[in-house]
Structures are given as C-alpha cells and as structure tokens.
Amino acid sequence: MLLYDLDPGLLGGLARWLVETGAGPGAAYRTVVVGAGAGEDDLWVGLRPPRRGEALPFSPEPGPLAEVPGRPPAVVLVPDLARTGMAGARAAVTALGSDVLHLERDGLEALWRPRARWLAACRREDMGKLSPHLLDRFAVRVDAAGLREGDLPGPAPIRPRRTARMTAAAVDRAVRVGGAAPGVRRELALARIARCLATLDGAVTVDAAAVDEAARLLGFAEPETGPEPPAPVAAGGRGAEGRPAVAAPDRPVEASHAVREVVAAPPVEPLAAGPLPPVAVDTPYPEDVLDGEREPMSLRAPWARRSTVRALRGAPLGTVPAHHVHDIAVVATLLEAAKHQAVRCPDHFAGDPRPPHLAPPDLRRYRRAQVPGRLFALLLDHTCRGDWDWYEALSPFLRWSYTQRAVVCVVEVGARDAPGELAARRRIGRNLLDPGIVRALDGAPGRATPLAHGLVLVADSLTRHLHRERAAVEEALLVVVTDGRGNVPLRDSVSGRAPEGVGRRGVEDALSVAREIRAMRRVRVVLVDPRPHAGAGLVAELGEALGGAVVPGRDHPDGA
C-alpha cells in the first residue's frame, strides 16, 4: 500500500490497525523499517552473537526481510519511498508480487513464499522521481494527506469463509477500467480489490458492480461506455428486430466479393492557439503525469567520477567490501571478521579473550551517497523581465547544469508571489528537473527589487556548498539576471520595514555583497544584461564588483 502525503510517524499505528483488523486483536507480527541507509546486508542477512554458555562464534542468520519458520509475518514500513536507498528499492521490486523468494548469501540458503505486507509513504509531488517498476509493485494507493493520529477506528476482525471468484464480465470490466498502461499490474490490483469487496459482502462471485466500486475506491477514471457487443444468435433463430438471423460463414468471404461501406471522415478543425490547460494530478497513478526527476536507470548504481576526496564526503548509506584502506568502517569490519574466528583459530572462544584475527576480505568501507560535483546558482530579477523571454539567453547555462547533473540554487528577486515583497526567495533542487525550478523561471514580477538580499542568499548558498557542507562541490557557476536597480536596502529586507529615502543605499548594499562573492574561489560568474534600460551604468558597476563577464540578454534595437 502506498500512502500519499502521510506523516511517517503514523506508519507504525497504521500497521498495527491493519494487522488487528485482518487477523484479530493481539495477532503476532513484526515490523521492518526500510530507510535510506539500508543496505543489502542489512535487509537479507543478519549476524547472531553467541548465546551465554555457548562457545560458538558469531554466525550469519537470515535478515529481517527473510521469512523463515518460527518468525511471525512482517510488515515492512518505508517512511519515504522517494528517499529509500537502492537496496530497499530493489528489495521491494523483488519481493512484492513474487510467488517465491530464494536467498543465497554469505553461506545462507532459504526458500519461502513471501507473506510480508509493505506500507510506504511518499509525497505526491515526489512520484516523478521513482522508477516505474517500483511504483507498479504498490497496487493500492491511498490519499492520506488529512490522516491524523486517532482517526483510525477500532479494529474489526475480518474472517471470510470463502473467497469470491471472478466472472468473465468482471474480468472484462477490470480490463476496460484499468486503462492502457503498460503491463497488467493495474488491472490485477483492481481485480483483487473487487474480489475483496465481494468476499466481504458474502458474495460467491465477483460481478461488474464490484469492479466499479473498487475503481471508485482506488480513484480510477470512469471509462467511456460504448455499445454492448451483440449477443450471439444460433443459426436459424431470429435477431433483435425479428428478422431471421444469418449464420456466420465457415470460411472468410473473398475480398473481391466483400461489400465495403465507405464513411466520409468529419472535417478537421484546427486547435485554437492558447496556453495548455493545467495537468490534473488527482489520480491514483500520478507518475503518469509527473515526470520530474526520474533518472533513466533508477535501480542501478549511478556513474560517479573517480575522486577519492568527493567519495569520502557523502553521507554514509551502508557498507561494502573495501579495496583500499581509506574510509574503513571499523564496526562492520569487526563483525565480518567475527564470522570466521572459529575457522581461523579453533580455540579463539575458549579461555581468556583474544584479539580478533583479521584478513583482507574482512575489510569494509562506507558506501556513501553520490556527491554532486557542480553547483548552478541562478539569481533572477523578475522586475527587469517585462516582455522579455529570457529562456533563450539562459539556455546555454541551463544546458550546462543539466549535463553536469549540478545541484541547483535559484534566488528570486522581486517575485509577485513571494511571502514578503521586501525580501528575496531561495529554492534549492537536486537538479534542474525539480518542478520548483521551473516555477521560479516562470514567475511574475512584483513591485520591489531586494537585490542586495538576493545576493546575500546567493553568497550563503555558495559558502555552504563550497566549504561548510560535508558534500562540498568542486565548481560553482553563478548566473545573475538583473538590471542592477536595487531599491530595497539590506537592512529593510531583513527587518521587513518599508524603506524611506532609499537613494543609492540598495545599490551600494548590493555592490558590497557582490565584492564578497568575487573573493570566493571556484566560482565562475556571468551577469546577463537585460538591455535596453535606463540603468546601464548600474549593470557595469555590478559586473565589475562581481568580477564576472557581462553578456547581453537580447540585442539592442539599434543593433549595438
């Protein structure tokens, strides 16, 4: 079950309610949490320490996702499906919908029929980041945006005596309602929910009405109703209008004798020009319309440059076998070596404690998150845009950001929908495909131009990504689009008070912050001049303070 916009803290209570509803109060179950840092060894293989009085070493045992005899059924909780690591995503694709699972790892061998139930939470706008193969595994989708603790009713144990069977009409209805998506997972999900509803009602078979009710619960769109196919008539009988029915020939009619009816096509009317209507995302499968940040191969390890410094700066997400002595995971290395102590030293666990016997295959290092090597910072002054389409001027820089997979920081100055018109607004996205970045590029202009505050936000982002962050980037590109006319001093932007008698105070504050940005290393600055305008001298001053190149955003009417 995939729950949209659910508070992750409610997953535990929801799992308990579902288990008690299906199996009765007090039913035994165990929960397995699959987070961003879960690795293959954390999910499929565990390490059992020696019990008291036993002279046995640490031995591997089936991990939390393995279902072996003696273990109660598992409920797998995924707090944020969009941030789940690759190991968790692969586990979901492997386990969900499979008839049998076979585990062979670290000398272990197990075979079982999966009974675990998965509950995953994810924001609706993040659905475009996930692999379609992963999303198809979650048959039931629930909009849980308004769910709060205490909203769940008391458990009502369900003990059906007999499962309803699908009829041919119900199967045809499920295929029609399921849509034209690749595969049949959605049709299967619809059929299973319809069979569950019919079983709860005490029906023996599933009819088309149960399929329609399941489609309403899941949020499927109502299919277009067409004419029903004519009922078959036996040879010699009479049709619907009383005429004698003609039996179908035993062999096909020759093409030369076939009667063909030509129907004139209706005239084609051209579509009127205008903006496209907004895409509705109120659907149980928002991944069909949200194609935001999905990587081409979401379930494969991404390609990364060979940079030891950058490889040691990402957040740790697990451990892998080490091929060098850098970034060694000490605890994981000792646990791996503990499995082989009895083989390497038969008397190791007898008598006084002894130091562990380490071997090169025992070494483990941290597997860290991929570090972006580039930063693309963009300052957009909406008040200087007017009727200018700045996409053409920005296209080379946007293309660079996309090809380099750079993390994107967009600072909006003078946006109409900003929370405060005297302050700038900052958006940070994982890459250029973030929907918020596109909305920032299409923003409408406001009245004030807090240019100094926008440069302060840019300088803060550059400092954090280049120096303060553990995952520091190697290079930053700063593109500033403004006419230099800042009419809000920095003090008024911070305090939120309406400025009085501004003069050049806003411009001087912007130039002062620009000189600080110029002193930063590994920052390449480009200033896009939206000429023609009355403040051409201000652009030159700002370009000199930033120490970057000034490029024209559009040609001058005189050809200059």
Q: Give me the pLDDT at residue 369, please.
A: 67
Q: Regarding beta strands 59-62 and 316-321, do their DSSP bridges make them parallel or antiparallel, or are they unpaired?
A: unpaired
212/529 Cα distance (integer angstroms): 59
**Residue 445 burial (CB count, 10 A):** 15
442/72 Cα distance (integer angstroms): 53
Could you name the CATH architecture of 374-552?
Answer: 3-Layer(aba) Sandwich (3.40)
Domain boundaries, the chain: 2-143, 165-218, 314-368, 374-552
Q: CATH topology of 2-143 equal to that of 374-552?
A: yes
- The CATH code belonging to domain 2-143 is 3.40.50.300
Q: Which of 256-265, 293-302, 420-429 has the highest mean pLDDT?
A: 420-429
Beta bridge partners of 111: 102
pLDDT: which is higher, 76 or 149: 76
Q: Locate 232 and state its tokens.
A: 């078959």
Q: Give me the pLDDT at residue 423, please.
A: 92
Residue whose entry in the numeric block shows the structure tokens 């993390």: 407
pLDDT tens for each residue of 486-530: 889 999 898 888 888 788 899 999 999 999 999 988 899 999 988
pLDDT tens for each residue of 433-468: 787 888 888 888 888 999 999 999 999 999 888 876
Q: Give me the pLDDT at residue 222, please.
A: 63
Q: Regarding beta strands 141-143 and 2-4, do their DSSP bridges make them parallel or antiparallel, or are they unpaired?
A: parallel
